[in-house]
């Protein structure tokens, strides 16, 4: 992976293992987290937020293990979350020690509603804590990210002041969270523009965005933010996360990829440049989506953009006819660009358990022996009735046989 500080690329910060794991029911053990982190590194994310080390012994150890095994010099930056408190920051620094490149991400809320009811602190106190805790994090690592939680509902003038203080104390990334998914794209874009224009020394830091999907606007908000100067996007695989989830990595990356000529000028590039806007290997997207879904147990809705089972399916006769004549009639991207390779190995009734297992692994589906046996029996049943078994059939078999049992 190349170091990403230049402003004509968009840094992809994956928080599947931290904010994504905050989805109800999506708890992952350390081994599962490591498996996902390895796949995120293959996908090419620039930063992996591996967890919140102070929150539990298990999370501490998972972050430490990822820092050790995935945080290689050529691998991604490994990041740990910490509230703006010394004990949190110390735990994050300790867990991240084995990583070749590490980042501490510290945060404190800035909206009046959070100050009054959650923190019970004044703006003056929050300003002071933000500065002191960024400086404290900086005493452990060079790469410090600061987030004013609930920025989307904070007074912009106060936000500018807090960000200025964080940068003065060494923050190299300032992340703007729409914590409750409240803003609209025009508002969020204007917020980023205001930050760029009003925060002294903002050019010393990368502007990042983080957002939740309560109104289904997270991805649209981020794209507007990129147009206004944001250069890091915090997102999760399949958009998993608190409540309605986080902005979805695959949607953001493919929007920037498919529409790169539209976005090029906002990043100071020639309109017709075909160079990629991110470091992501898009052909790893589908596999990563499957892996996260199978390990978290969170199913992907069939009509989910990019990775849903129907995302590249054409049902109506008119559409099928058009696609057979020329794919571009109804397809804006190639299924292969996200790694979908239906029928590369044709599975049929003569295929063995090993071929079956290998194909599932290629699709990012890693089953226990017991589940594999159940799924294989079902596969044989289906293969008796159907000549060729496609990747979609395999997913249906796994979903029917394993997830519903
Ligand atoms: O949603 C949020 O505000 C967060 C912060 C910790 C960045 O997850
Ligand atoms: Zn969040």
Which residues sit opposite 149 in a β-bridge?
109
Verify whether ligand 1 is closer than 6 Å to residue 145 (CB atom). no
Q: Which two tokens stand for residue 114?
A: 């959070």
Better-scored residue on pLDDT, 383 or 197: 197
6, 4, 20: which is closest to 235 by C-alpha? 20
> Which of 110 and 363 is assigned the larger pLDDT?
110
Distance in angstroms (rounded) separating the CA atoms of residues 386 and 400: 17
Decide if pLDDT at 5 tops 70.
no
Looking up tokens 């991207």 gives 333
Half-sphere exposure of 322 (CA within 13 A, CB side): 11
Ligand nearest to the CA of 173: 1
212 is in an annotated binding site: yes
Q: Which protein residues have a CB closer than 5 Å to ligand 2 (ion)?
A: 19
Q: Which residue has the higher pLDDT, 354 or 9?
A: 9
Average the pLDDT over each of 125-129, 196-200, 223-227, 378-382 and give the range with the smallest value.
378-382
- Using DSSP, state whether 104 is helix, strand or coil: strand
Closest among 215, 218, 237 to 226, alpha carbons compared: 218
Beta strands in 286-356 (DSSP E): none
Mean pLDDT, rounded, of the chain: 92
pLDDT at 177 over 50: yes
Q: Is residue 149 within 6 Å of ligand 1 at its C-beta? A: yes
Contact between 13 and 26 under an 8 Å Cβ cutoff? The reply is no
| ipTM over the 0.85 cut-off | yes
Name the percent of the chain lying above pLDDT 90: 76
Residue whose Cα lies nearest atom 8 of ligand 1: it is 19
Residues 6+ apart with CB under 8 A from 19: 49, 210, 234, 236, 241, 242, 246
Cα–Cα distance for residue pair 399/405, rounded to 1 Å: 9
At residue 343, the pLDDT reads 42
Is it the case that residue 260 has pLDDT exceeding 80? yes
| Per-residue pLDDT tens digits for 357-390 | 888 887 788 888 999 999 999 998 888 887 777 7
For the whole prediction, is pTM greater than 0.90?
no
Q: Under DSSP, is residue 78 helix (H, G, I), strand (E, B) or coil? A: strand
257, 354, 401 from 384: Cα distances, Å: 41, 18, 17
pLDDT per residue over 208-231, tens digit each? 999 999 999 999 999 999 999 999
In the chain, what is the greatest distance between 2 CA atoms, to the nearest angstrom?
71
Mean pLDDT score, 14-23: 95
CB 64 within 8 A of CB 31: no
Q: What pLDDT sits at residue 92? A: 98
Alpha carbon of 50 to those of 8, 107, 138, 214, 307: distances in Å?
A: 26, 16, 19, 24, 23
Encode pLDDT of 38-89 as tens digits. 999 999 999 999 999 999 999 999 999 999 999 999 999 999 999 999 999 9
At 212, phi and psi to the nearest 5? Answer: -105, 160
Q: Is the CB of 147 under 6 A from ligand 1?
A: yes
Q: How confident is the model at residue 3 (pLDDT cuts 50, 70, 90)?
A: very low
């Amino acid at each position: 992976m190349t170091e990403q500080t230049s402003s004509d690329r968009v840094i992809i910060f994956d928080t599947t293992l931290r904010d994504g794991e905050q989805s109800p029911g999506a708890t992952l053990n350390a081994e599962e987290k490591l498996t996902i982190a390895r796949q995120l590194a293959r996908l090419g994310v620039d930063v992996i937020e591996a967890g919140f080390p102070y929150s539990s012994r298990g999370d501490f150890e998972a972050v430490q293990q990822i820092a050790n095994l995935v945080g290689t010099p050529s691998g991604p930056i490994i990041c740990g979350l910490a509230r703006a408190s010394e004990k949190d920051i110390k735990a994050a620094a300790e867990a991240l020690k084995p990583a070749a490149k590490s980042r501490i991400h510290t945060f404190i809320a800035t909206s009046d509603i959070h100050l009054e009811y959650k923190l019970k602190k004044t703006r003056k106190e929050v300003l002071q804590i933000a500065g002191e805790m960024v400086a404290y994090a900086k005493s452990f690592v060079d790469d410090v990210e600061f987030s004013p939680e609930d920025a989307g509902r904070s007074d912009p003038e106060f936000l500018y002041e807090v960000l200025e203080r964080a940068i003065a104390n060494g923050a190299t990334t300032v992340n703007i969270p729409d914590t409750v998914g409240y803003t609209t794209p025009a508002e969020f874009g204007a917020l980023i523009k205001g930050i760029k224009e009003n925060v002294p020394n903002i050019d010393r830091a990368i502007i990042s965005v983080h957002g939740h999907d309560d109104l289904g606007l997270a991805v649209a908000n981020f794209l507007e933010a990129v147009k206004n100067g944001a250069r890091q996007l915090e997102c999760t695989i399949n958009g998993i996360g608190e409540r309605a989830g986080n902005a979805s990595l695959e949607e953001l990356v493919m929007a920037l990829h498919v529409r790169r000529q539209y976005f090029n000028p906002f990043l100071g590039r020639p309109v017709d440049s075909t160079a990629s806007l991110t470091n992501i290997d898009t052909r790893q997207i589908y596999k990563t989506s499957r892996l996260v879904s199978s390990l978290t147990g969170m199913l992907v809705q069939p009509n989910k953009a990019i990775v849903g089972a129907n995302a590249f399916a054409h049902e109506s006769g008119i559409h099928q006819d058009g696609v057979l004549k020329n794919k571009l009639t109804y397809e804006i991207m190639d299924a292969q660009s996200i790694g979908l390779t239906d029928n590369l190995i044709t599975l049929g009734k003569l295929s063995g358990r090993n071929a079956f297992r290998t194909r599932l692994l290629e699709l990012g589906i890693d089953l226990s022996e017991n589940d594999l046996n159940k799924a294989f029996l079902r596969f044989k049943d289906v293969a008796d009735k159907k000549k060729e078994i496609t990747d979609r059939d395999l997913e249906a078999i796994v979903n029917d046989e394993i997830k519903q049992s």
